[in-house]
């Protein structure tokens, strides 16, 4: 089983970006944590990050095709600020049928009102919010459970 971990805009700045909100863990640390979690769960984890909405959409299309071929269980996706703006990412997830677990490091509901709405949530298979970078671990565990339950 394989899972894609996708990170969107500004998540390449983890570790230096607003540490009071996002902590001191870097993106490289997060990606290592995801690969280690994958090894523990017996799944291969591939990590990608882009600041560009269209690139993220292309990767979801690619992942959707791999999912239909039975090669990919789904994606754990922190879309960053595109969560709150992108109808196109919503449509990409819906249009491909890719199982996506939406992850946010911070509790977006305890922050500014513009972070309370997510275009991704109605298209997501599950949501993990507010657990810090452990959210990626929980997202991977949840996606593996769902994939194994689906057979």
Binds ligand DQA (CB under 6 A): choice among 25, 37, 49, 78 = 78
Size of the site for ligand DQA (CB under 6 A): 10
Which residues in 93-112 contact ligand DQA (CB under 6 A)? 104-106, 108
From the list 67, 82, 90, 104, the catalytic residue is 104
Instruction: Name the DSSP letter for residue 104.
Output: E
* Residue in the block written with tokens 């979690």: 37
Q: Which is nearer to ligand DQA, 34 or 105 (CB)?
A: 105
For the chain, the distance separating the N- and C-terminal CA atoms, rounded to the nearest angstrom, is 11
Query: What residues form DSSP beta bridges with 48?
Result: 6
Measured CA to CA, the distance from residue 113 to residue 142 in angstroms comes to 27
The verdict on whether 117 is a catalytic residue reads no
Please state the closest distance from residue 121 (CB atom) to ligand DQA, in A.
12
Active site residue 22: yes
Among residues 22, 82, 119, 136, the one annotated as catalytic is 22
DSSP 87: H
Q: Are 35 and 22 in contact (CB under 8 A)?
A: no
Compute the least distance from the CB of residue 115 to ligand DQA, in Å.
4
* Alpha-carbon radius of gyration of the chain: 14
Active site (catalytic) residues: 22, 104
The footprint of ligand DQA (CB under 6 A) covers: 10, 78, 80-81, 83, 104-106, 108, 115
């Amino acid at each position: 089983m394989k899972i894609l971990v996708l990170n969107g805009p500004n998540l390449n700045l983890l570790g230096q970006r607003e540490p009071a909100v996002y902590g001191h863990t870097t993106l490289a640390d997060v990606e290592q944590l995801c690969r280690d979690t994958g090894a523990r769960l017996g799944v291969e984890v591939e990590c990608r990050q882009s600041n560009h909405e269209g690139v993220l959409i292309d990767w979801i299309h690619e992942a959707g095709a791999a999912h239909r071929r039975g090669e990919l269980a789904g994606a754990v996706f922190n879309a960053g600020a595109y969560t709150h703006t992108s109808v196109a990412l919503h449509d990409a997830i819906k249009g491909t049928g890719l199982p996506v677990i939406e992850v946010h490091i911070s509790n977006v509901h305890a922050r500014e009102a513009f972070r309370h709405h997510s275009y991704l949530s109605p298209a997501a298979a599950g949501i993990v919010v507010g657990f810090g970078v452990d959210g990626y671990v929980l997202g991977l565990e949840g996606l593996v459970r769902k994939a194994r339950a689906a057979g």
